[in-house]
Amino acid sequence: MADIIQLLPDNIANQIAAGEVIQRPASAVKELLENAVDAGATRIQLIVADAGKSLIQVIDNGKGMSETDARMSFERHATSKIKVIDDLFHIKTMGFRGEALASIAAVAQVEIKTRRTEDELGTFLEIENSTVKVQEPCATPEGTSISMKNLFFNVPARRNFLKTNAAELRHIIDEFIRVALAFPQIFFSLTSNGQQVFHLEAGNAKQRVLQVLGNQYAAKLVQVKEDTDYMNIYGFAGKPETARKTRGEQYFFVNNRFIKSAYLNHAVMSAYQEMIAKDSFPLYVLFIDLDPSQIDINVHPTKQEIKFEDEKIIYAFVQAAIKHALAQFSVAPSLDFSLNADIQQLESVSKPFSDDKQQSASSSSLFKSFTQKNQAHFIEPTNKSELKNWKDFFTPATTSIAPLKDFAAVNGDGLLEYERRETITQAASGQLHQPEKRETALAPDALLMQIQQTYILAPGENGFLVIHQQLAHERILYERFSVAAHGKKMASQHNLFPATLELNAADSALLLDLLPDLAALGFLIEPFGNNTFVIQGTPADMLQGNEKNAIELLIEQFKHFSSDIKFTRREKLVRCMARQQSIKAGQHLTQKEMHTLTEELFLCQTHNIALNGSPTYVAFKEDYLDRMFGK
């Protein structure tokens, strides 16, 4: 019987290795950028086309390579960093395994131009499927320019697994940011399809953090700096108000290498304990410098996971450094932890305090009582006595609350303010969705009661219901938006003065990807270049003046859903919209609004379950109450 075990050909072995190192265009970007940093470059340019599927090019002004080194660099396990085994435990550079370029050449068409300072001519190489096609001298600036074209051209199955261009570009931006943050002294630029996404001038660490995350964080960061004999930790942590629902802006660097560590992240979270909501994540960019012999970075193909010799010491240092920074800048004592995060989204908080509102407030008698002299015992005269009808307060009401349909017929006020406009608009365009009417336990003349400004107490024919107003409204809006997202578009209202929205590069790429789906929900948003968008219109039921905050919050909530694979992109967007625009717990409702909410809830196809799986209401039957009192 013939032998069946044989050695793999080099090109196949390289493709298998590429499966570990080059998983998507962003993986190649990371390797090429790190090589440029290791070459001592002070200017690094990244150019991509079609989110890296057609082209990834990195141009640097580093020390370049000789002809022999350029050729050898594409051989598997070729490296200049390791000569003896002991070198592996003293690595201070980014790349060292000698697999990156070999892996790239196995799955793409590669061209490289490189020249050292002492050489008059550089070297040009063209490699395809691990085979050198062209090798010749060329005229080129000092440094290296490497182009990687048609990724996975010879592995079409791998190419089919790539996501949309917008999604792949977000991954490229993530890898670019991680390298750029680690080396603020180097100029970085990123150009995508001929449009510049990043232009990061060399500077200090804080300047680079603000260049990447946005200048809006200038006054929201506290400096972290602790130096010891064992390790140094420095960087920046966000004040508690910067906490988000996603982990997006969290960066750990060990010896300038970006790492992912749930253990160290827990140390940071414990330092923020009771300062932020339990489901929120703080912002931080932290750098740890320690002896390379204390860590093992050779435990992961992409080197994003490392092992510490003594994790507990690192944990304690990180936790103490964050706590000290927050206390030093008087962040902790000034916080009100009892404040509900939803309050921040209310109109009274999010809307600007305009000049006319300020003038109106300053002219009121209440304002004058605090600003003018001799006002402590002053009572403003009035012809209307507010106490003359005090007995009416104790007189039972003789008229019952009219049913919802009577309100709508008489004065059209049966809807919440922002829902009324949408109903009128949709009725005119024939888009109003009328689910099948079903019986409810709510009596038509019921007097509803709001408890803790969160729950609606609704008496029924055989007991009563306790309805959670936010969960109920989320269900109502979800079904309404679902119809719009999968059928006819929602009505939009054009803004008289279009608002301009500026985002960071990662959020800009995400919003570009969401524009078609947002259009179906009534948002009219147009790209304006350089990570800027113009909001031309919003859904008919959205209050004017709050468009920018609404879209920023929508993006943040969408990223919160991004880790959940059971929802499609449009489904995530619909759920985010419903959660964002729903009335929140703590908001006072009138009788009309409570009736509207209750009636519309029972018109929903799934009226008893909220989006998160919780019940929208709990029914208490009469026999249950009897049993509670032993009858």
* pLDDT computed for residue 399 by the predictor: 43
pLDDT in tens, 51-75: 999 999 999 999 999 998 888 888 8
**Residue 344 in domain:** yes
Strands laid side by side in the 524-529 sheet:
492-502, 532-539, 524-529
Is 315 in the same domain as 443?
A: no
- CA distances, 201 to each of 10, 25, 156, 273, 559 (Å): 41, 25, 38, 36, 29
pLDDT in tens, 425-463: 444 444 444 444 444 545 566 788 888 888 988 886 677
CATH number, domain containing residue 479: 3.30.1370.100
Is 211 in the same domain as 324?
A: yes
Show the DSSP H helices in 441-546 as ranges: 469-486, 505-520
Is 228 in the same domain as 193?
A: no
Confirm if 297 and 261 have CB atoms less than 8 A apart: no
Indicate the length of the chain as a whole number.
631
Q: In angstroms, rounded to a whole number, what is the distance separating the alpha carbons of residues 460 and 466?
A: 10
Buried b or exposed e, range 201-216, using 16+ CB within 10 angstroms:
eeeebbebbbbbbbee
Q: DSSP string of 472-484?
A: HHHHHHHHHHHHH
Q: Ranked by mean pLDDT, which of 49-58, 395-404, 419-428 comes out on top? A: 49-58
Range from 183-187, 243-247, 578-582 carrying the lowest mean pLDDT: 243-247
Is 128 in the same domain as 257?
A: no
Average pLDDT over residues 152-170: 85
Confirm if 476 and 599 have CB atoms less than 8 A apart: no
Mean pLDDT of the chain: 78
Is 472 in the same domain as 612?
A: yes
Tokens of 539: 């859904």
Is 418 in the same domain as 506?
A: yes
Name the domain count of the chain. 3
Is 58 in the same domain as 132?
A: yes
Is 172 in the same domain as 227?
A: no
Helix (H) or strand (E) holding 36: helix 25-38
**Residue 357 in domain:** no
**Domain end point (choices 202, 219, 246):** 202
Average pLDDT over residues 330-358: 53
Would you report the helix, strand and coil content of the chain in percent, each value rounded to 5? 40, 20, 40
pLDDT in tens, 198-227: 999 999 999 999 988 888 888 889 999 998
pLDDT in tens, 237-250: 998 888 887 776 88
**Residue 356 in domain:** no
The range of the structural domain enclosing residue 574 comes to 340-348+401-631
CATH number, domain containing residue 244: 3.30.230.10
**Residue 362 in domain:** no
Is 487 in the same domain as 572?
A: yes
Q: In angstroms, rounded to a whole number, what is the distance separating the alpha carbons of residues 332 and 324?
A: 10
Is 91 in the same domain as 221?
A: no
Is 302 in the same domain as 344?
A: no
The SS3 of residue 401 is coil
Buried b or exposed e, range 122-140, using 16+ CB within 10 angstroms:
bbbbebbbbeeeeeeeeeb
Is 126 in the same domain as 235?
A: no
Q: Ranked by mean pLDDT, which of 40-49, 270-279, 283-292, 323-332 comes out on top? A: 40-49
N- to C-terminal Cα distance for the chain? 88
**Residue 353 in domain:** no
Q: Which residues contact 324 (CB under 8 A, 6 or more apart)?
A: 226
CATH number, domain containing residue 30: 3.30.565.10
**Residue 383 in domain:** no
**Domain end point (choices 202, 236, 262):** 202
Q: In angstroms, rounded to a whole number, what is the distance separating the alpha carbons of residues 246 and 267?
A: 17
**Domain end point (choices 328, 362, 380):** 328
